Amino acid sequence: MPYTKYMKTLKDKKMKITQQRLEILRYLDENRTHPTLEQLYEFIRTKFPAISKMTVYNVISSLIDNGIISSMRFVNSTELRVDYDKSSHFHFLCGKCGKIYDIESGFDLLDHVKRNGHKFDEYTVNIYGTCKNCLKNK
Amino acid sequence: MPYTKYMKTLKDKKMKITQQRLEILRYLDENRTHPTLEQLYEFIRTKFPAISKMTVYNVISSLIDNGIISSMRFVNSTELRVDYDKSSHFHFLCGKCGKIYDIESGFDLLDHVKRNGHKFDEYTVNIYGTCKNCLKNK
DNA sequence: CTTATTAATTATAACATTTACAATTTAATA
DNA sequence: TATTAAATTGTAAATGTTATAATTAATAAG
């Protein structure tokens, strides 16, 4: 039963269990590539041809609102990228090949900044540079 | 001479000195509000009515390419935001009022992550939560 | 100081991502 | 099974960005 895990995830948040949500959750869980919604849509369509792009937007929006997945944007593009992995880690975008790498943080950044009375909930760290592979093939 | 400083900045990078660039640099220097290009355009237009929005895009793009200013995007919006301050600091976006606060980092994040053979050039840290003021008025 | 060269600015249009809306369909509940 | 509330769908509109080509302006050379 590959979907029971995701059914529980949705149920725990009192969200309705729909085929579209299950399929998208499964894809994100099994493909940790930080896809854009367009990429997500293109893939999901191969398994679920009738899905609407709007559904992808709606599903992702509700998953984010319920704290099930996280999201980020890089400076080089307006597109939202999503990530099934909510654990504390950074993202490294290679400016040459465009690949995104997960970078282990090893510490909680919020432990190192003064709050000044503000309430901090979450954070994203985006690192820009050139990846190992692109350095080699230069 | 309020513009000599910016003339030097451009000259050092071998960039042509234009009225549009000087006006935008001055605005960014004197207004550390991390404006969007739209906000920048609206203001600059009051002082320089003939300026084109494309010029704002072009000027910002060249200032970024030459390492004079930095930029970031938050997850709640597709818009690029720009920052005259290139020193190491984080950005905190209040989800209630939308205000952006500079947060002192006190340490260089890149000293704390394993490079794994990658070359890291820059990074942005975006923190999300609720600001002091909005907590108070709730 | 004038001219030539090169780059920047401008205006228009095209493109891409996201949001708004209303109608239809589906999931959960009684 | 019927009801209700929510999710999905399709269309269109809004927003932010990029592409292109013509005009204008800044720099360098004569």
**Residue ranges covered by each domain of chain B:** 4-72, 87-136
Q: Check residue A120 and give its pLDDT.
A: 97
Q: Check residue B107 and give its pLDDT.
A: 84
Nucleotide nearest to B54 (CA to C1'): C10
Protein residues contacting strand C, judged by Cβ under 7 Å: A 16-19, 36-38, 53-54, 57, 61, 77-80; B 15-16, 18-21, 50-55, 58-59, 62, 78
CA distance A75 to B107: 23
The pTM of the full predicted model, rounded to 2 decimals, is 0.94
Asked if strand D contacts A58 at the CB level, meaning under 7 A, the answer is yes
Per-residue pLDDT for A100 more than 90?
Answer: yes
Q: Please judge whether A121 and B128 are an interchain contact, meaning their C-beta atoms are less than 8 angstroms apart.
A: yes
Give B105 to chain A, closest Cα distance, Å.
Answer: 6
Q: Mind listing the pLDDT tens digit for each residue in B117-126?
A: 999 999 999 9
Six token digits for residue A38:
């367009």
Residue B121, φ and ψ in degrees, nearest 5? -100, -50
* Count of alpha carbons within 13 angstroms of residue A1, beta-carbon side: 6
Q: Check residue B108 and give its pLDDT.
A: 87
CA distance B32 to A127: 23
Q: Which nucleotides of chain C are near protein (any atom < 7 Å from a CB)? A: 7-12, 16-21, 26-28
| Closest by Cβ to B109, choosing from A116, A121, A125 | A125
CATH topology of domain A87-136: Dna Ligase; domain 1 (3.30.1490)
**Interface residue B58 vs chain A (CB under 8 A):** no
CATH topology of domain B4-72: Arc Repressor Mutant, subunit A (1.10.10)
Per-residue pLDDT for A7 more than 90?
Answer: yes
What is the percent of chain A with per-residue pLDDT over 90, rounded to a whole number? 91
Q: Check residue A6 and give its pLDDT.
A: 98
Per-residue pLDDT for A1 more than 80?
Answer: no
A-chain CB neighbours of B97 within 8 Å are none
CA distance B116 to A3: 35
Rounded average pLDDT per 10-residue block, chain B, 138 residues: 92 97 97 97 94 98 97 98 94 96 90 94 96 90
Q: Check residue B138 and give its pLDDT.
A: 64
